[in-house]
Amino acid sequence: MMKGSDSHADQPSAPSGDRILDQFFPEARAKLIDLAAILDRIDRYGGAEDYRLRAFHRAMEEVSRPGGADRARRVLECFSDPTTKPADKPVTPVATGAWAGERKR
């Protein structure tokens, strides 16, 4: 992927990784705890097992995988329909957030 030639050229004070951590750690911590609480809630109510949760767990593995600075892309791909041919009819009436898989066709 090309990188814009003007990406950082006129940034007066480009922030450091430490500054980014300072800014976003509280938000990331809160979101992570919320995520854990959602999974706990599902378990407390008897648990669930479907394509959305499986995609979710694959995505969490990608979050934990170090390097590349492309975790967001990899997480999005975990939820995405990987097929390439157009569907004859809509597979699901609305998008659910995760690909339901070939078995739903």
Partner 1 sequence: MRYIEPHGHMVSRTTDDYLAMVTAGCRAVCEPAFWAGFDRKSADGFYDYFCQLTDYEPKRAARFGLPHYSWLCLNPKESEDLELAEDVLALIPEFLERPNVLGIGEIGLNKNTRNEITVLERHVDLAASRGELILVHTPHLEDKLKGTRLILDVLDADRRIDPGRVIIDHVEEHTAPLVLDRGYWAGITLYPESKCTPSRAVDMLEMYGRERMWLNCACDWGVSDPLAVPKTALEMRRRGLSEDAIEGVLFHNPARFLQQCARFAIP
Site string for partner 1, 30-59 (x = CB under 8 A): ------------------------------
Query: CA geometry: angle at 76 spanning 87 and 94, to 5°?
Result: 40
> With binding defined as CB under 8 A, does residue 29 bind partner 1?
no
Q: Which is nearer to partner 1, 66 or 90 (CB)?
A: 90
Using CB atoms within 10 Å of the CB of residue 58, give its burial: 0 to 12 exposed, 13 to 18 middle, 19+ buried. middle
Calpha distance 105→100 (Å, rounded)? 9
Chain contacts with partner 1 (rule: CB under 8 A): 1-8, 10-15, 23-24, 70, 72-73, 76-77, 79-84, 86-92, 94-100
